[in-house]
Amino acid sequence: MKKQDNQIKWTRKDLLDLESLSKEEIELILTTAESFKEVSKRQIKKVPALRGKTLVNLFYEPSTRTRVSFEIAAKRLSLDVINISVETSSVRKGETLIDTGKNIEALKVDVIVVRHSSSGAAALLARHTNLSVVNAGDGWHEHPTQALLDIFTIKEKLHRIEGLNITIVGDIAHSRVARSNIWGLKKLGANVCVCAPEMLLPYEVEKFGVKVTTDLDEALKDADVVNVLRMQFERDIQSAFPNQLEYFKKYGITEERLKYAKKDIIVMHPGPINRGIEISSAVADGLNSVILEQVTNGIAVRMAVLFLVVSANEYLKR
């Protein structure tokens, strides 16, 4: 890092997206995460960084991996953690998102981690409360911590982002992971390629400044990294792909497919993986795969994010 970069400070009380972050802010999260990674390797996996603060995981969509990752990250920072899932909360009784947020604020909580099916839900909470809000996925909009941990993992493996060729394959149209990855990677200077069947590409996707192709072989040809998105077959894509096998034939990442890619291509997946739908077991478990390392890195990245936003909000309140 250049010297002047060291001087940048984190001033946001929330992390809602990567679109609005500067390159320097993203780099600050990554370097902060590097220093937190070591905590998880200790005998006693805990630092008192945010002792006495409280975090609420507010999940309106089912999620195990992201919620648990945030919970572990929080606990390693000595945060007290409460989990609220929609099935057990008063949301079922018709409470609005803003009211839920204000009630949580009234309980003197410091940070909310929110997952919601509506794009912009995290922004709505952030605007209407003084809490720190971390977006754990809002609709099709963004999932910033997933992209940050993806970027962190790539950087750990290849020691840079700038100039790398990174391909994202799958349902780009409905993917918040894709949007956050595109913003983050572009800001750090990567060449991003998105690959999907036509109907799973969002409108004017090329305006992100990405290469767009429907041909997987072309997308893999010069790729240093391939990030494979989870296919959600409940969506209305049956017309294009009568069954999952058809999709796997055309867009599944297999050893056969990777023969034409760079030998040391890195294979990533945000999980949970659908073996035999978007990725073969051989690739998911193979030497190129960093899927489980992503999971491990998620802890350090989320520790960094929680630490930065809560500290900034503390400062802003003063």
Partner 1 sequence: MKILIKNAKVISPKDNLDDVLDILIEGSVIKDIRKDINLNVDKLIDAKNKIVMPAIVDMHVHLREPGREDKETIASGTMAAVHGGVGSLLSMPNTLATIDCIENVRLLKDIISKNAKANVFICGAITKARLGKELTDIEALKEEGVIAISDDGNSVDNEELLLEALKITKRLKIITIEHCEDKSISKDGVMNLSFVSTCLGLKGMPKEAEYKRVKRNIELASKVDAPIHITHVSCLESVEIIREAKKRGLKITADTAPHYFSLTEDAVRTYDSNFKMNPPLRTEADVLAIKEALADGTIDAIISDHAPHTENEKEIEFDKAEFGVIGLETELAVAITELLDKKILTFNELVKKFTENPARILNIDKGGLTINKTADLIIVDPNKEWVVKKDFFFSKSKNSPFIGRTLKGVVNCTIISGEVAYSNFD
* Residues near partner 1 (CB under 8 A): 19, 96-98, 116, 118-121, 123-124, 127-128, 138-142, 176, 179, 202-205, 207
- d(CA 314, CA 110) in angstroms, rounded, equals 9
* Complex with partner 1: residue 101 or 252, whichever CB lies closer: 101
Q: How far is the CB of 119 from partner 1 (least distance, A)?
A: 4
Q: How far is the CB of 124 from partner 1 (least distance, A)?
A: 6
Burial status of residue 86 (CB atoms within 10 A of its CB: 0-12, 13-18, 19 or more): middle
* Complex with partner 1: residue 165 or 180, whichever CB lies closer: 180
Q: How far is the CB of 161 from partner 1 (least distance, A)?
A: 21
Using an 8 Å Cβ cutoff, are 213 and 226 in contact? Answer: no
- Please report which residue ranges of the chain form alpha helices under DSSP H: 23-37, 65-76, 97-106, 121-128, 144-158, 176-187, 216-221, 244-251, 255-258, 281-284, 291-317
* Complex with partner 1: residue 99 or 256, whichever CB lies closer: 99
DSSP string for 255-298? HHHHTTS-TT-EEE--S---BTTTB-HHHHTSTTB-HHHHHHHH
Instruction: Give the Cβ contact number of residue 119 at 10 Å.
Output: 14
* Complex with partner 1: residue 93 or 207, whichever CB lies closer: 207
- d(CA 132, CA 310) in angstroms, rounded, equals 6
Q: How far is the CB of 133 from partner 1 (least distance, A)?
A: 13
Q: How far is the CB of 140 from partner 1 (least distance, A)?
A: 3
* Complex with partner 1: residue 229 or 253, whichever CB lies closer: 229
